[in-house]
Amino acid sequence: MTKVLIADDDALVRMFLKQMIPWEADGYQVVGDARDGEEALSLFEQFSPDLVIADVSMPVMNGIDLLGRLKERGFDGGVIMLSCHDDFEYVKTAMRLGADEYLLKNHLSPDTLRTALAAVAESTQKRQNKAGKQGEMDAILEKGLRQARREALQKLLAMDRCPFEEQLAMIEAARFSGSYRQCVAVQARLAQAEAEKAPRFFELCQQVAVGNHADAVPVRKTACVFLMDMTGYPSRSRQQELADTLCHVIDSYAWQYLQLRVSCGVSSLCDGDGSIARAVRQADRALLAAFYREGVWRYEDTRAMTDGCPPEAERLARALPRLLEAGGEPALNEAVERAAEAVKKARVMPGAAVDWLRRCDAAAGLARQQAAYAQIDSFAALRRALDEYAGLLRQGGGAALPGEVSPAVAEAARYLQQHFAQPVTLSEVAARVSLSPNYLSARFKQEMGAGFVEYLTELRLAQVRELMRKNRWDTVKSIARQAGFIDYQHFCKVFKRKTGQSPNAYRKKLTGQDE
């Protein structure tokens, strides 16, 4: 249904038009009628019509001014102008501004109106088809331009101090907006956990760049670099002001439109040969400081960071086997806390901090996937990873394994300690450690002193007992499911066989002891 808005200062004309044809039967809906252009503009904002029929001569705001205001708002629907014989100059102006048809009021009839409506429908469709094709072409060109800019930036980064004239030729070919003889780079980055929002973030970055005299180029899966040409701004305070403003706009827009928090790294002023590549590398390095706190960081802020771990951190890596074997959670937590705070205070480089975590994992016998290390992009994520050592104590009475355990069985046991709450099978674990299920089952029982299923069950029961102590408001059935027991009846039988009490009786006794 095509929505129609009528505007004429003559109430009889408006009434006449509304009654002239059966609008709805012809596929139209008259959504409003206005006495002047100003009222028509208000109704336009309210109803978003597809077709406007307006008198060229009205008080307050005439049809010509109304048409201009509609075009300013991007209206590409149909426009029919109503006029009298002495309005011809107005009509010519209206047609030049984009009106589709005009009708003389003293010639109005159902036939002339329907003819005009058909002509407007055809011209509007052609215009919108053309606009759609142009939009598609612009999108294709924009996509190609972005790719060209990305490739140009990659080439510049691969070169060692590219001569300025060669750099200028490359960026002009990629249609960068400045010469970048003097350049500042700002790199904006999302957290790894927000990677699925990166495409929308990159689109927003393009819009921010246009409004802040910068060029935006995605450089990583979750990062976009903004190049700012500072050649025309000799004042250092003005340069810093421009970079600060850009960082503020990026952060506020990302939060306002995408509910994302970003961190920004800002380079120092780079000029001459290789200015762009140096600026981008500095902005990338500046973001290393965001590992410890979100916000805006400058290249100079990274000079206090270190590649070496403090002694307290190294002591934890050596002491973990002893702490886990002793089974004392308070002592373990205290050691982890001291080490983590020492790493934070020393502002250890993120790569070095993650390498330290790897060493700690190896000492604890914790098999973490490579992808898990890649996800550690903040100190908070590192801290959560360290907290998993205390979890090893709660899962199965300690992480220590019998002294003579083969690497394959040790890996299988560690995997069960970490994934017991999931539907784990012997076949799955056997494939993981590259053994046949039967062989793993036999070796596991021989080396661990308990069969595969028995060991897994003990892990789950230990978790049930822990959750009973902590989560008094959860039902026993909920706790059993959290620990990996899917079949509640089977869980009740196993629990009573192992403890001599039903789960509810055990919990009541436990609660009484705690009280």
Is residue 205 domain-resident?
yes
Tell whether 339 and 356 lie within a shared domain: yes
Is residue 234 domain-resident?
yes
Asked whether the beta carbons of 32 and 45 are under 8 A apart, the reply is no
Tell whether 358 and 478 lie within a shared domain: no
What are the strands, taking DSSP E only, across 259-375? Answer: 263-266, 270-271, 296-298
Tell whether 234 and 341 lie within a shared domain: no
Is residue 304 domain-resident?
no
Asked whether the beta carbons of 423 and 398 are under 8 A apart, the reply is no
CA distance to 196, 405, 463, per residue, from 38 (Å): 45, 86, 71
Average pLDDT over residues 265-293: 92
Task: Classify residue 445 by burial, with Cβ atoms within 10 Å: 0-12, 13-18, 19+.
Answer: middle
List the 2-7 sheet strands across, edge first. 28-34, 2-7, 51-55, 78-83, 101-104
Domain that residue 408 falls in: 401-449
CATH number of the domain residue 50 falls in: 3.40.50.2300
Q: Per residue in 471-509, pLDDT tens?
A: 777 789 989 998 999 999 999 999 998 888 899 888 887
Is residue 402 over pLDDT 80?
no
161-170 burial, b if ≥16 CB within 10 A, otherwise e? ebebeebbeb
- Take residue 388 and report the two structure tokens written for it: 């998993």
Gap between the Cα atoms of 64 and 76, Å rounded: 16
Nearest to 469 by CA among 387, 418, 398, 394: 394
Orientation angle between helical segments 164-173 and 275-286, nearest 10 degrees: 80
Is residue 274 over pLDDT 70?
yes
Average pLDDT over residues 297-309: 91
Asked whether the beta carbons of 393 and 327 are under 8 A apart, the reply is yes
CATH number of the domain residue 271 falls in: 3.30.70.270
Phi, psi torsion values for 290, nearest 5 degrees: -70, -10
Tell whether 252 and 345 lie within a shared domain: no
Tell whether 75 and 122 lie within a shared domain: yes
Tell whether 191 and 318 lie within a shared domain: no
Gap between the Cα atoms of 39 and 136, Å rounded: 35
Q: Work out how many domains the chain is built from and give that number.
A: 5
Tell whether 288 and 174 lie within a shared domain: yes
Stronger pLDDT, 340 or 132, i.e. the higher one? 340
Using the 3D structure, point to which of 237, 269, 298 is the last residue of a domain: 298
Is residue 154 over pLDDT 80?
yes
Q: What is the pTM (predicted TM-score) of this model?
A: 0.50
Is residue 134 domain-resident?
no
- Take residue 482 and report the two structure tokens written for it: 């959290």
Q: How do beta strands 223-229 and 182-189 pair?
A: antiparallel
In this prediction, residue 8 has a pLDDT band, given cuts at 50, 70 and 90, of very high
In this prediction, residue 140 has a pLDDT band, given cuts at 50, 70 and 90, of very low
